[in-house]
Structure 1
Amino acid sequence: MVEDASGRRPSIRDVARLADVSHQTVSRVLNDHPSIRPETRDRVLAVMAELQYTPNRAARALVTSRSRTIGVLSASSTQYGSASSIAAIESAARARGYWVSTANIVASDPDSIRAGLAHLMAQSIEGLVVIAPQMRVFRSLAAQRIDVPYVTLQSTGLDPDHTLTVDQIAGARLATKHLISLGHQQIYHLAGPQDWIEAESRMKGFLEEMSASDIPTTAPVLGDWTAEFGYYAGRELLRVRDFTAIFSSNDQMALGLIHAIRDEGLDVPRDISIVGFDDIPEAAHFWPPLTTVRQDFAELGRRCVELLLTPDEGQAAHPVPVILPELVVRASTGPVPWA
């Protein structure tokens, strides 16, 4: 931050003077007002960069009664899907001139949930996004008063008018149908943790597609999302080896499965086919490259912000359709070995 001889920080009026515009024009640039000509905006932004000027957001909120901040309440920010959702929301929010404040909570602790929500509300957020893996978080939130537009990114069935999600069931059915189309019938499902909403949905999709094809199933194996568990589960399953394919509920566990299969001297996909879920950036570089289900997080973020920030800025928007995932076929799946 550039300071003058007296140590004073540059103000909006300093920016206006050097850019030869009114301070109201600088304010409009800060608020991304559509009436500002591009050349004027560029000149003002150049002066702001030269002065290293940053607006006092707290002061602006007091004057305008607007914080231009969206809150994210997250209980699983270390997972790839949640982290990608937050990044997509931040990108979409910045395109609308908003910032994002994230509060990470402990899903199993009601006090943490209440404290996280209170922390965000104290910042005068104008909208709230809830990214939580477990039903218990939403049951706890149902008892709280939320006075701003909000949207949840998990389909719980508790509040459908405020839900925006990628169709996890449809994605799981795509993965399972792909294996069946290759001739596989002995298919195992390595599921995510019990009580995780996305894990339950993916398990449901697997079971629905197997039932629709009239193929008997064994009980899904409950995992913990980690490659380490995938490796452990793979070693245990290979003791009997009564399957030709596995649908893993995420890509990390699929990586562990591939490791276990190769340690047994077997080949993917010649002996066993593997499908994952999420399409993490590394999935294309597994060996073999992983067939998986891709979620469009950029679109999720865009729709999420659109849902919160309607043209009337602050009025609740109408629910939008769920986002359909995409099957990405790579080299980890092939025909059933004896076909």
Structure 2
Amino acid sequence: MADVARVAGVSSQTVSRVSNGFPGVNEETREQVLVAMKELGYRPNSAARALKRGEFRTIGVITFTLSTTGNIRTLEAIATSAAQEGYAVTLLPVAVPTQDEVRGAFSRLGELAVDAVIVIMEVHLLDAARLPLPPHVNVVVADSDAGDRYTVVDTDQAGGSRDAVEHLLGLGHRTVWHLAGPAESYAAQRRTDAWRAALTDARRETPPLVRGDWSADSGYRAGLRLAEQDNCTAVFVANDQMALGLLRALQESGRKVPDDVSVIGFDDIPESGSFLPPLTTVHQDFAEAGRLCVEGVLRQVRQSETERGTTLVPTRLVVRQSTAPPPVR
């Protein structure tokens, strides 16, 4: 910085103000400093800045899996939103969602120097359900039921699921089967609960629950079983990947979609419109969820206030060619 000041003919304080983007430096002086910086190859020392300001402009992200569409797209949105705010993202995957593992993750993030933490809590195991996050840490939790203790951002899982079931009932189906996600998943459980509640409210029979693991392979295996159910004319699938496998199984079993069986998914992945037939599904706004996570955690950083409660990101039903009225018998 002293070298830049000497070459530009200004004080070190002026160089600092230009480097940090502060106002109050006239344009000619600013240009002199920038030219000197370029000539000398000067780059501000981010570590020194962090020590001086007491902030690192970095957000830590703890996630329990990178194998699901929701987590990947939420993480992408978090990284994009953080970059727009001038923050970097440090990712720390946790293999097993136990309290000890998560405490260790927070400890490691502390060593890496972050200003705040976003926890993408996809897996909802018993020993992590009441996760005691460290005190005095700026935290936002995604996809969790911890709204009474932390700032939470979540998709409207229940509303989207109810829309899916009501769409199928509205087409004339007597009931709706459900291919659910894994039992330990919070999102899967919310979708299952909403499916069951929608059928109960409509006074319809609730078929036996069929469960998968989010993968297309599990959807295919479940689809082979559902194809054997003659009274199955409509299936609400907890995500689009399992719906893809289900579509294949129904086709191989001679059950036409949507003539014999209507299928509706959840997520609205980019490929869902290219399924055969194009998939009716519930659209999740992952970009908005990621943006709200960053907005919430930075509000805590800047205002030193912790807000508790849950912000729900609305869903919307995208109707394509995989749903239709039931066959006439």
TM-score (norm 1): 0.85
SS of residue matched to 1:276: strand
Letter in 2 for 1:220: L
What 5-or-longer segments of structure 2 have no aligned partner? Answer: none
Specify the alignment match of 1:336 in structure 2: 326
Give the Cα–Cα distance (whole angstroms) in 1 for the partners of residues 2 and 64 of structure 2: 38
Letter in 1 for 2:227: L
RMSD over aligned Cα atoms: 3.2
Letter in 1 for 2:328: W
Give the Cα–Cα distance (whole angstroms) in 2 for the partners of residues 40 and 250 of structure 1: 57
Q: Greater strand share, 1 or 2?
A: 2
Letter in 2 for 1:219: P
1:222 pairs with 2:211: yes
Give the Cα–Cα distance (whole angstroms) in 2 for the partners of residues 39 and 289 of structure 1: 59
Compared with structure 1, are the counterparts of its residues 108 and 123 closer, same or farther at alpha carbon in structure 2 (3 Å cutoff)?
A: closer
1:62 pairs with 2:56: no
SS of residue matched to 1:163: strand
Alignment size in residue pairs: 325
Give the Cα–Cα distance (whole angstroms) in 1 for the partners of residues 303 and 115 of structure 2: 7
1:322 pairs with 2:273: no
Q: How does 1:52-201 map to 2 (within 5 A)?
A: 55-136=44-125, 138-139=128-129, 141-142=131-132, 144-157=133-146, 159-201=148-190
Deviations 1:177-211 (A, max 9, x none): 11111111232100000121000000011111111
SS of residue matched to 1:147: coil
Q: How does 1:263-274 map to 2 (within 5 A)?
A: 263-274=252-263
C-alpha contact (below 8 Å) 2:4/2:37 kept by paired residues:
no
- Mean CA deviation greater in 145-154 or 229-238: 145-154
C-alpha contact (below 8 Å) 2:180/2:238 kept by paired residues:
yes
Specify the alignment match of 1:237 in structure 2: 226
What 5-or-longer segments of structure 1 have no aligned partner? Answer: 1-10
SS of residue matched to 1:268: coil
Letter in 2 for 1:328: V
How far 1:43 moved relative to its partner?
Answer: 10
Compared with structure 1, are the counterparts of its residues 52 and 175 closer, same or farther at alpha carbon in structure 2 (3 Å cutoff)?
A: farther
1:247 pairs with 2:236: yes
Compared with structure 1, are the counterparts of its residues 277 and 61 closer, same or farther at alpha carbon in structure 2 (3 Å cutoff)?
A: same
Identity %: 37
Deviations 1:201-222 (A, max 9, x none): 0001111111111111122112
How far 1:157 moved relative to its partner?
Answer: 4.3
Give the Cα–Cα distance (whole angstroms) in 2 for the partners of residues 127 and 88 of structure 1: 16
C-alpha contact (below 8 Å) 1:290/1:331 kept by paired residues:
yes
1:27 pairs with 2:19: yes
Give the Cα–Cα distance (whole angstroms) in 2 for the partners of residues 165 and 227 of structure 1: 24
Relative contact order, higher structure (CA 8 A, sep 6+): 2
How far 1:236 moved relative to its partner?
Answer: 1.4
Letter in 1 for 2:17: T
SS of residue matched to 1:81: helix
Compared with structure 1, are the counterparts of its residues 201 and 140 closer, same or farther at alpha carbon in structure 2 (3 Å cutoff)?
A: closer
C-alpha contact (below 8 Å) 2:181/2:214 kept by paired residues:
yes
SS of residue matched to 1:277: strand
Give the Cα–Cα distance (whole angstroms) in 2 for the partners of residues 80 and 89 of structure 1: 14
Give the Cα–Cα distance (whole angstroms) in 2 for the partners of residues 270 and 43 of structure 1: 72
C-alpha contact (below 8 Å) 1:82/1:131 kept by paired residues:
yes
C-alpha contact (below 8 Å) 1:16/1:26 kept by paired residues:
no
C-alpha contact (below 8 Å) 1:12/1:26 kept by paired residues:
no
SS of residue matched to 1:292: strand
How far 1:139 moved relative to its partner?
Answer: 3.8
Specify the alignment match of 1:4 in structure 2: none
